[in-house]
Amino acid sequence: MTTTATTIKDSVHDYIELCPTAEALLDTAPMQRLRYVRQLSTVQLVYPSANHTRFEHSLGVYHLASRAVDQLELDDQLADRLRAAALVHDVGHGPFGHQTEAAIERHVGRHHDEIEWLLTDSEVGDVLEEQGLDPEAVAATVDGRGPLGELVSGSLDVDRMDYLVRDAHHTGVPYGTIDHSRLLYALRTVDGELALEAGNVATAESALIARTLMNATVYGHHVSRIAGAMLDRASERVLRDEVISPERFARLTDSELLSLLAEHEPTADLERRLRERTLYKRAIWARRGDVTDEFVGLEYDHTRSLEREIAEVADVDPAAVILDSPSEPSSPESRAKIVVDGDLRRLEERSSLVAGLDACARETWRLGVYAPEPVLADVQAAAATVLETDAIVAP
């Protein structure tokens, strides 16, 4: 800590000190853009205080990475790479974060090539090189590859440590308030792998528990999922109609996407509904046991053909039916490594909780069919027939 470091005040971590690389990166347009992408996208429709951005989250992840590299006493070059990767890890995110990810991937391919392209061929890449860093190595780190890349993207990464605490602070839901300092103090490198020192099974479990509870109450709230599904359909439409190239789409801010949707006639109604919060409602809300396996984690094309089928049976506009069947949940945290009697073990081998939390996560799984209020009853009846389920939502 020198007397001249630039510091930024953060509502979660108090003062964040910037290294020269971070200062230079923050001045780029792609980083500044993250001020206009909400961290929790449509969750603010349920938790009105959840307006924090990927910009402040990126600063937080950078801060935790800084503390981790100090704790691990890494050499300067690796430390600088890890800090830089932490700061830029979200720079490739499209508008509304994960909620447009699938649409972007359907039109430009995988996102990992994307971040590599972004870092090597942009203002961010230039800054990295000026600071003596290899953009490709930073991109690999963002993707969890290379030396200690798992610190940025892995089972114990600083990304998750920051978002759990930050999302708790901004939603008011306490479940995400993990003891991130304890996780940082417990970090060790064992033969180049990141692990928690002995005696930290409960510490690791607490992070997994926090995410499971935040999923159930915040991240997976049905109102946010409905809005997200509406965004996905609208995004697909503007991309399919070639209103914008997928590359430019991926660089929009949240509000720029909404403006685009408002100006394109086929998506204008969805945009107005999102803006005024007159969302589609749940017609079907089915647990794992309420539907057959074939309807779990549907491919996009299959989803769309089922939507059309439901619309046909209900005799409504196909745009009035949204089917949303996510994959079954996974829990990367359960693969966190812990030192036990001198050996590395996966958390899932040592913890009696992991299986229960997995079951818990599976229980929060839902297949949803959403429709606008006027046609809700018709869509409900049709969807029950097509999906052979009786998990209808009472009006």
Q: What is the footprint of its own copies within residues 7-66 (CB under 8 A)?
A: 7-12, 14-15, 27, 29, 32-33, 35-36, 38, 44-45, 47-53, 55-56, 59
Q: Which stretch binds its own copies (CB under 8 A): 90-98, 151-159, 234-242, 347-355?
A: 347-355
Give the residue, chosen from 142, 238, 311, 357, that forms a contact with its own copies under the rule CB under 8 A: 357
Q: How many angstroms separate the Cα of 25 from the Cα of each of 17, 103, 202, 228, 268?
A: 14, 28, 36, 30, 36
Tell me how far apart the alpha carbons of residues 386 and 313 are, in angstroms, rounded to a whole number. Answer: 8
For the CA atoms of 337, 340, 344, 345, the dihedral, rounded to the nearest 10 degrees, stands at -60
**Contact set for its own copies, span 138-177 (CB under 8 A):** 169-175, 177
Residues with Cβ within 8 Å of residue 273, at least 6 apart in sequence? 230, 279, 280, 372
**Contact set for its own copies, span 362-381 (CB under 8 A):** 362-364
**Should residue 308 be labelled a site residue for its own copies when binding is judged by CB under 8 A?**
no
Is 83:66 a contact under the CB 8 Å cutoff?
yes
Tell me how far apart the alpha carbons of residues 310 and 320 are, in angstroms, rounded to a whole number. Answer: 10
H-helix or E-strand spanning residue 291: none
Tell me how far apart the alpha carbons of residues 274 and 348 are, in angstroms, rounded to a whole number. Answer: 40
3-state secondary structure of 38: strand
**Should residue 110 be labelled a site residue for its own copies when binding is judged by CB under 8 A?**
no
Nearer to its own copies, 213 or 291 (CB): 213
Cβ 35 to its own copies, closest distance in Å? 6
**Should residue 188 be labelled a site residue for its own copies when binding is judged by CB under 8 A?**
yes
Q: Which stretch binds its own copies (CB under 8 A): 203-211, 225-233, 313-321, 335-343?
A: 203-211
Give the residue, chosen from 230, 239, 336, 354, that forms a contact with its own copies under the rule CB under 8 A: 354
Cβ 381 to its own copies, closest distance in Å? 22
**Should residue 351 be labelled a site residue for its own copies when binding is judged by CB under 8 A?**
yes
Nearer to its own copies, 9 or 110 (CB): 9
Residues with Cβ within 8 Å of residue 5, at least 6 apart in sequence? 17, 18, 19
Nearer to its own copies, 192 or 301 (CB): 192
Q: Which stretch binds its own copies (CB under 8 A): 152-160, 251-259, 283-291, 313-321?
A: 251-259
Indicate if the alpha-carbon torsion angle 225, 231, 233, 239 is positive or negative: negative
